[in-house]
Structure 1
Amino acid sequence: MKKVILIPDSFKGTLSSEDICSIMSKNVKKHFADCEVVSIPVADGGEGSVDCFLSAVGGEKITKTVKNPYFEDMESFYGTINGGETAVIEMASCAGLPLVEDRKDPKKTTTYGVGQLIMAAAQKGCKKIIVGLGGSSTNDGGCGAAAAVGVKFFNKQGEEFIPVGGTLKDIAKIDLSKRSDLIADIEIVTMCDIDNPMFGTKGAAYIFGPQKGADKDTVVELDNGLRNLCHVIKSDIGIDLEDVPGGGAAGAMGAGMIAFFDSKLQMGIETVLDTVNFDQVIQDADMIFTGEGKIDTQSLRGKVVIGVAKRAKKKNVPVTVIVGGADCGIDDAYEMGVTSIFTINRLPEDFAVSRTKSKENMEATMDNILRLMKSVNKNK
């Protein structure tokens, strides 16, 4: 082999995408010393996304003082890539669940800091901003971020305020006229890998509220607030977000990005592939290695493995998938561009046991695949 592409998703709770790339690269070089190895750690929008993009394409990490989930000052960051033309922001860096520690309360937390990072990137002169959703502590529908860029919210008494989850129900009017002109001509892409709606039993509050500290009564209150926000957005902005897939992502930040930032929601892997010019990078590749913790029917909906495979199929490049486990009902993956699938677990063990061996199991599996490939090449 002369060139391989490494683009695995993380194995949640065991190996990061960067860890896997490192293991794969070391083994490729052991068996094919002269092979060009291109590593593309995958970012899903959550914590670590900025570092993944910087690792994949290079760039600069910029620190900025912004508000944390409780409107307190904190040091956050964003990344710039493509010569400073593109900014990458992960909302978890200033609105993430770990930041609230033992103060979980989605009725009070805000995305204001995310809006401050967007403004910082705009002031820096970025022409495109990628915002990763995931790992949030919030349920404010992106209103905090919107307020940070100049969007005004008013209650029935005509008083301006910055809505949080518990006060979404009080929004009576939204005014976009004071939104900063700096973001008017910037392309804003939102990485979003879930298709939950804004509200309802499958929406932001019901599905994600409990992990952010919401009890049953609070879930109902938050959901009613999101319903009101959706109603006012429709009447004042003219956008109906009720049934938009992904609107419920990150406390309905998905819906807010559409309404307040004119953003489009896009699968994380598609954003990554576009950003790294994947179609061009793989043209002369002999093999692509990708993978995830478990491949199942959910995987076929277009996450990392299938996103990579579909692009590779168009260029006629084979795709080897390495996973922790493989479920039944995944035969369609082969029609979508996957060449072969290998699992790393060598013994029938509980995950609690096998997860501690993920690194050595990945190394052994990669080593065996490459030994086979090397043997086939010798016999040609």
Structure 2
Amino acid sequence: MLVVCAPDSFKGSLSAVEAARAMADGVRDADPQAACREVPMADGGEGFVDVIDAALDARRLTVAVHDHSGSPASADLALAGDTAYLDIASAAGLTLVAPEDRDIMTATSRGVGELVLAALDAGARRLVVGLGGSGTNDAGAGMLDALGVHFLDEGGALVSPSPAALASIVAVDASRIDPRLSDVEVVLASDVTNPLVGPDGASHVFGPQKGASSEQVRTLDRALAHLARCCERAMGADHAAEPGAGAAGGLGYAFLQFLTARMRPGVEVVADALRLREQIRGADLVLTGEGSVDAQTLGGKTPIGVARIAHDEGVPVVIIAGNVGDDADVLLDHGVTAIVPTPRGAAPLEELIARSGRDLRSATASVIRIFESRRRGAAS
């Protein structure tokens, strides 16, 4: 039997690489003769570069950047040929700064710009950017500042573009943006389709997750709308309403507006890079999953992306998750054969996290035993 293990990370407990290994161990516990293909997955969020690095013959680079609080930090990128894979969470991720030190009004995406420059310095001609897990809400102004875009106030002085300062910008000068970017293809990997501003925009939907109060959400939304008007005057076009412009606190907008990027579902980008369809073709079973699944998984999360490919190839797919929402059964109408939770018995959260790898391995072994029993029954 050939089983493909293609999970995303179980956030807070297992990386995608660790989850795929735990699944493969569970398969072999149930059937020592089974063959396993471990294909750790991601949908553009945290762990994007780790997944690419694990699957491709990539060169890993660690570069010095500033996190979204302005403190020195390091971030990774993966180089495969002339393509650089970037994970914005490694340079401006919410988890990089302790909760008590976070300030959404001063947090900037400058570190993402520094990561882009490092990719250019390494010879990249194509950037594949995982948009997810950001701690910023500055419409990518910090990134653009690092790339050479100038933001000017009424007196013509340069503005350091933190969210709190965006309202003071009256002009945008993109003439000094790094010229190498004109010859670079940029692909954005994200499952977010929100516009930049408005009730469905970056500030209203994602700002509270980053610590923004109700008043700050309104202030941020006005500031981002003001910045977009200034950028439209400078560039002669406006991408603020495009699906995905609100991704990563508006970093999607900056890439679309200034770097002529194109947006693709993150799981599709990763699946293409890892040649997932070829890995699944001819398999007997596909296992996928992540920390939690529910009806929102249909919005482009890894498990449904894997399930759609497996369904196209006529291979049954089982989702194994740490938490299964009450509405998760809707996934069964979209190519998923079964959904299995991992926890065994009630326990405090800390204990569940600590034993998550063991529970995933055990749940996988149970799935394989049931699957093989049904196959034997069908054969007889």
| Structure 1 length-normalised TM | 0.89
Deviates further, 261-270 or 39-48: 39-48
**Which residues in structure 2 correspond to 1:171-320 (within 5 Å)?**
171-320=169-318
1:115 is aligned to 2:77: no
Contact map agreement 1:151 1:178 (CA 8 A) in 2: yes
> Any unmatched runs of 5+ in structure 2?
none
Letter in 2 for 1:50: V
**Which residues in structure 2 correspond to 1:2-151 (within 5 Å)?**
3-81=2-80, 84-101=81-98, 102-151=100-149
Q: 1:132 to 1:330 in 2, by over 3 A?
A: same
Deviates further, 242-251 or 341-350: 341-350
Q: What fraction of aligned residue pairs are identical, expressed as a percent? A: 34
Which secondary structure does the structure 2 equivalent of 1:298 belong to? Answer: helix
Distance (Å, rounded) in 1 between the aligned partners of 2:89 and 2:323: 28
Contact map agreement 2:291 2:322 (CA 8 A) in 1: yes
Q: Displacement of 1:116 after TM fit?
A: 1.7
Distance (Å, rounded) in 1 between the aligned partners of 2:95 and 2:313: 41
> Any unmatched runs of 5+ in structure 1?
none
Q: Which residue of 2 aligns with 1:153?
A: 151
Distance (Å, rounded) in 2 between the aligned partners of 1:352 and 1:65: 33
Q: Displacement of 1:218 after TM fit?
A: 3.0
RMSD after superposition: 2.6
Distance (Å, rounded) in 1 between the aligned partners of 2:153 and 2:245: 23
Q: Displacement of 1:41 after TM fit?
A: 1.7
Q: 1:19 to 1:175 in 2, by over 3 A?
A: same
Question: 1:97-143 deviations in whole A, cap 9, x for unaligned?
Answer: 34343432222222122112112212222232122223323222111
Letter in 2 for 1:28: V
Which secondary structure does the structure 1 equivalent of 2:289 belong to? Answer: strand
Distance (Å, rounded) in 1 between the aligned partners of 2:285 and 2:311: 12
Q: 1:44 to 1:309 in 2, by over 3 A?
A: closer
Which secondary structure does the structure 2 equivalent of 1:200 belong to? Answer: coil
Question: 1:130-160 deviations in whole A, cap 9, x for unaligned?
Answer: 2222332322211121122222222222223
Contact map agreement 1:31 1:374 (CA 8 A) in 2: no
Q: Displacement of 1:253 after TM fit?
A: 1.1
Q: 1:44 to 1:259 in 2, by over 3 A?
A: same
Higher relative contact order (CA 8 A, sep 6+): 2
Which secondary structure does the structure 2 equivalent of 1:15 belong to? Answer: coil
Which secondary structure does the structure 1 equivalent of 2:73 belong to? Answer: strand
Q: Which residue of 2 aligns with 1:162?
A: 160
Q: Displacement of 1:357 after TM fit?
A: 4.5
Question: 1:339-358 deviations in whole A, cap 9, x for unaligned?
Answer: 22222234467767655553
